Amino acid sequence: RKQKGKNSFRRRFEEFWRVLVKECEGDLLYDEDNSGGHYSVELSETFEKLFNYVIAIGGKAPRSARVAGTIAGLELVCGLLDAVVPQVDARSTAERQLAALEKGSKSKSSAKAMRVQLEKTQDIAHKKIQTLQEGMNKLFIGVFAHRNRDVDASLRAYCMQLLAKWIYSYPDYFLKDTYLKYLGWMINDKDESDRLAAVSSLTSMYESLGDYKSSLEAFTLRFEARYLQLCMDVSGPVATEAIALLG
């Protein structure tokens, strides 16, 4: 019962950080400026301070602080990722509508007004995407890049699980060697649970990225020999998962 309560608290703690970003999207997440007809946006001072605090906590010596800081930092990335998806959609929609407008037969005056509005929508979405990506990168460098090498195997595994989720949720940003290499490195971890987490994460990633398989070719070739070795891993669960990965 005590373990069940602990797991329940952790789930709520993880969810809190994602919900925090969602609830603050309307105003507290951004500092926006429309003065002079020029739109600019950056993360609010409140969130910048929050990120700095989370990064500092995640780097503390006590395990409890590192766990809390790691969960907060990585779940904040999930929240920012949820926020970036509608902005990507808005930018893509505006781009398609602008292209259609160029081919359309609307009057010059109405077409011009519509073009101005669509370009504004496109610009706002693009700048918000850049701002959110900067926030994700700050947390990645400040939290993930340190805790994926933590002495605590459970923290390393947690990092891999979240990284795989980011990659297949937002491949246009995360599907690059800068991030993929961490999954590749983790399949060599001395801890069985971490190797299993890495291989399981890779399996999920390959299954979810059917349209992006060409982007994974170089990564696959780089680690293919290791995938084969893992099929004979001393750990039965790791070997089984590796066979599924290659299946």
**What is the tens place of the pLDDT at every residue in 115-127?**
889 999 999 999 9
Q: Judging by beta carbons within 10 Å of its beta carbon (0-12, 13-18, 19+), is residue 58 exposed, middle or buried? A: buried
**pLDDT greater than 80 at residue 145:** yes
Q: Which token pair is 168?
A: 């297949």
Q: Band of the pLDDT at 106, cuts 50, 70, 90?
A: low
Cα distance between residue 151 and residue 156, in whole Å: 8
Amino acid 102: pLDDT = 80
**pLDDT greater than 90 at residue 4:** no
CA dihedral 144, 156, 60, 143 (to 10 degrees): 10
Question: What are the tens digits of pLDDT across the range 35-88?
Answer: 877 899 999 999 999 999 999 999 988 999 999 999 999 999 999 999 999 999
- For the whole model, what pTM was predicted? 0.91
The separation between CA 162 and the C-alpha centre of its own chain, rounded to angstroms, equals 8
Question: What are the tens digits of pLDDT across the range 178-222?
Answer: 999 999 999 999 999 999 999 999 999 888 887 887 888 899 999
Helix, strand or coil, per DSSP, at residue 195: helix
Mean pLDDT, the chain, integer: 91
Using the Cα atoms of residue 18, residue 22, residue 25 and residue 28 in order, give the sign of their dihedral: negative
Cα distance between residue 189 and residue 194, in whole Å: 6
Cα distance between residue 222 and residue 113, in whole Å: 51
Provide the percentage of residues in the chain whose pLDDT is more than 90.
Answer: 77
Average pLDDT over residues 20-33: 93
Amino acid 101: pLDDT = 84
